[in-house]
Amino acid sequence: MAEPRDTVVLAYSGGLDTSCILVWLKEQGYTVIAFLANIGQKEDFDAARKKALALGAEKVYIQDVCREFVEEFIWPAVQANALYEDRYLLGTALARPCIARRLVLVAKEQGARYIAHGATGKGNDQVRFELSCYALCPSIKVIAPWRMPEFYQRFPGRRELMEYAQKHGIPVPVTPKAPWSMDENLMHISYEAGILENPKNRAPLDLYTKTCDPATSPDVPDELEIEFEKGVPVKVTNTRNGVTHRSALELFMYLNDVAGKHGVGRIDIVENRFVGMKSRGIYETPAGTILYHAHLDIEAFTMDREVRKIKQGLSLKFSELVYNGFWYSPECEFLQHCIARSQQAVAGTVRVSVFKGQVYVLGRESPHSLYNEELVSMDVQGDYEPADATGFININALRLKEYHRLQSKVSTKQDE
């Protein structure tokens, strides 16, 4: 055992990797405090506490962050229509700054100078955790074992970790490990690595845990009315059975159940990691998928066209910042304020059908609607003069005429 050193707060999951890291940190002389966030994952938290204490943790903190995760992280993403590279709803990327905030608070309360995590040296999570921690506590120091040669050279593979665990009395899984890695929270679950690293391989049918197979999902859809205020869902009602939820957490969990039952929210993508490599990821984001479609619809219904164009650009940048781990950056804070301001009139109700892996918008209504039924009607002229369109078309055609006139001249000269 090394000489006694400072206290470190370890982001602990209860799994093999962080359990081995806990014991390894103690070998290096650190006093270890384990921190485990309940962010909606399926976990036996009491067993995880007992395990960490048995492995030598000085203290174990288990904190429920589900409600703040929904209200302070997921809701801003819903307002933004946040989507990374056109497909990924950012479930993991949104969870990391939420967890990091509590991790830093525990470190401050305990007077710990160090935090540690089990993120790999190739992924995005190391960046997300550490940028968040440094932003919230500039003096904090980070121990990242999977980037330390003395650790990763000692444990080049899972076999070495298993041997270390057996040697130090760390409980090892008694059932075969799935041939891929998983990370779950209230918003989604991700699958990567192992047999999934070959992007040609189809995901096994038994991989998915949050959603049913759309092919075998119910033959009767659920119809939902989702009410928004300032771009945030405030009420959901199932029109088939009258079930209603209003609190943020209950509403989100209910949408997870309904979407999961109908196989909604599955994607299989190759994405660009911030560290520079492409990776294949499979995601299930049930409630997030419903809310993305519903919010997109009510926003288009209530927001001015030119404002929405600007907001779409802000959303693109916001999604990139969140994915890359810059939640606590000044630019991300600025974007959140701008996006929130754009949502002041985004209010109303969207009716959707959830069925066989799809979300179908059926209708919408809003007190702030910019839709003028009389103006747009093909049967009523309304306050619109069709003859005015002639000048509108002529003015817009002027640029096109001039461009192609010039192109014709250039082509003629080139042919001579």
**Residue type present at position 133:** C
Show the tokens assigned to 176: 């075969």
Show the tokens assigned to 332: 């991300």
> How would you label 274-298 residue by residue, b for 16+ Cβ within 10 Å and e otherwise?
beeeebbbbbbbbbbbbbbbbbebb
Does 240 qualify as catalytic in the annotation? no
Give the CA-trace dihedral at 225, 226, 230, 232, to 10 degrees: 170
CA distance 213 to 261: 9
Show the tokens assigned to 53: 């204490």
| Residues contacting residue 39 through CB under 8 Å, at least 6 positions apart | 65, 66, 69, 95, 98, 99, 185, 186
**Residue type present at position 29:** G
Proportion of the chain in helix, strand, coil states, percent, rounded to 5: 45, 20, 35
Does 268 qualify as catalytic in the annotation? no
Contact indicator for 307, 291 with CB cutoff of 8 Å: no
Kindly name the residue from 67, 113, 181, 273 that is annotated as catalytic.
Answer: 181
- Give the closest residue to 290 by CA, choosing from 214, 211, 246, 353: 353
Show the tokens assigned to 52: 């960490």
Does 329 qualify as catalytic in the annotation? no
At 316 the three-state DSSP class reads helix
Q: For 178, which DSSP code? A: P
Q: How far is residue 169 CA from its own chain's centroid? A: 36
Nearest-Å Rg of the Cα atoms of the chain is: 26
Kindly name the residue from 17, 101, 128, 190 that is annotated as catalytic.
Answer: 17
Residue corresponding to tokens 């003859």: 387
Kindly name the residue from 19, 49, 125, 279 that is annotated as catalytic.
Answer: 125
Kindly name the residue from 49, 96, 128, 364 that is annotated as catalytic.
Answer: 96
Residues with a catalytic annotation lie at 17, 96, 125, 181
